[in-house]
Amino acid sequence: MVVEIKKLDEKGSGQVSVWLETEQGNKRKLRLTIPQTLPGEKVRVTVDKPDRRRRRAMPDEILETHPERIGPACPHFETCGGCVWQHWDYRGQLNQKTFHVKHAVESQGFDPNLVKDTIGMDEPWHYRNKMEFTFATDGSLGLHEQGNFRKIITLESCLIAGKEMVEAAMEIAAWAKEYRLTGYNKDLHEGLLRHLMVRQSFATGEMMLALFATEAPEAHQQAADDLVKRVEQKFPQVKSLLWLENTDWADRTQSENTNVLAGRDFIYDEMSGYRYRLWFDTFFQTNPTQAQKLVDLALEMGQPKKTEKMIDLFCGVGTFSLPFASRVGKMAGIEIVESSIESAKRNASDNGITNTYFLARDARKGIDEVLESFGNPELLVLDPPRSGAGGKVMRKIGRSKPERIVYISCNPDTFATDIKELEPFGYELKAVQPVDLFPHTVHVECVAQLILKCD
């Protein structure tokens, strides 16, 4: 059939509904999801089971193209699930992200004109400082196929990861092939190699290679020894080479036992002039260039003062905590992940910051505990996960009455519903600045400023 793409879904694929006639002569709606298409395009598509209510199908032919359609730069684009918008001119991607944030804000009754144009990148390639690759059952290394979690696309390149990171990953892939090491079979729960995590500091140049396997390295001592030799000879910037044992059925990059094959179990990174230690499971902003813009925007909107107290909610390892702490009187950071809190404490100590208090609690209980011992803050910063902070947490924030709130969001929809909870407490949304941390994907971050109105 020939259809016209009406809109994009939350994963960046084209959406269209068509009415089909049944054998009984009735009309039935079929909702089609068509990846790698853009709004307004007319495409020819073949649907294998049109009697279903929803189907996903790749386009057979683009009959009428969007004026911003371009040729994808990556040879793996049509099959790899790492990027979804390489066929869209970068300016068009940024406009779509601005539209998404405006729509989310407007849906909750806020003025969409408060949303500024999305800040993009001058060079939207090789921006990621962390990648997680997966081994196929035959031991080849790559990323998941688009729309198919069980199939791995073997990679020859990756245009969103740092260049040295890709070179190191390809060396690991060659090593695994040479020793005929099997990949993990998710259905049979057998095989050796599961994932390879590569992370590199763009500031220090230090790199971590973390290999996730179902057995200890001693069971493959010759291969492990050769891996160390190869890495030390070809990649002197690798300061952490890890073999992580993971026998759990869940397909996650987790470790039951960490073996340091070479170097240390962490690397150093820097942001805003502060030094951070990153372990394999440390959350740190994946795009350091744009993350610096997030920090700068948060400081600009937060207007921290030496006479003030502040709370950093969902503080992680202190990405925002440390730059703010040097500008306020006292700062309390709250984070549910205990390892992140320990890292935040260590990072503060490493940087000579002594006016911080970090608490390992969930947000709801943590706010109560901090307020009791700390008092009400003049400034509150929060950077919640994609699921948002939630109504109960937002109402606790509203009752604590900070003069200024800075909300850093990675999900415009949950951001909009969260800040709606602050309206009854007298807060006014003043500005929303989207920032593109993930070019060629649907994701968009934003930094927002809310001010407590005077009575």
- Indicate which residues carry an active-site annotation: 410
H-run or E-run covering 60: strand 59-64
Using an 8 Å Cβ cutoff, are 262 and 236 in contact?
A: no
Which strands form 207-213's sheet, in the order they lie side by side?
A: 148-154, 141-145, 130-135, 193-200, 207-213, 238-245, 257-263
What are the two backbone dihedrals, phi and then psi, of residue 142, each rounded to the nearest 5 degrees? -175, -155
| Residue 208 to residue 324: CA distance in whole angstroms | 28
427 φ, ψ to 5°? -95, 140
Put the strands of the sheet holding 54-56 in their side by side order: 7-8, 14-21, 27-34, 54-56
Whether residue 334 contacts residue 361, with contact meaning beta carbons closer than 8 Å, is answered with yes
Beta-carbon contacts of 344 under 8 Å, excluding residues fewer than 6 positions away, are 315, 316, 317, 318, 321, 333, 335, 356, 358
Entry field: residues in the chain: 455
378: nearest Cα among 337, 324, 431, 335:
324
Helix (H, G, I), strand (E, B), or coil: what is residue 103? Answer: helix
Cα-Cα-Cα-Cα dihedral sign, residues 17, 18, 23, 27: positive
3-state class of 330 per DSSP? strand
CA dihedral defined by 40, 45, 49, 51, rounded to 10 degrees? Answer: 40
Q: Containing H/E element for 168?
A: helix 163-178
The angle formed by the CA atoms of residues 207, 228 and 212, to the nearest 5 degrees, is 70
Residue 422 CB partners (closer than 8 Å, separation 6+): 394, 397, 398, 405, 450
Token digits of residue 378: 């003049």
Helix-, strand-, coil-residue percentages of the chain, each rounded to 5: 25, 30, 40
Half-sphere exposure of 30 (CA within 13 A, CB side): 21
Helix/strand number for the chain, H first, E second:
9, 23
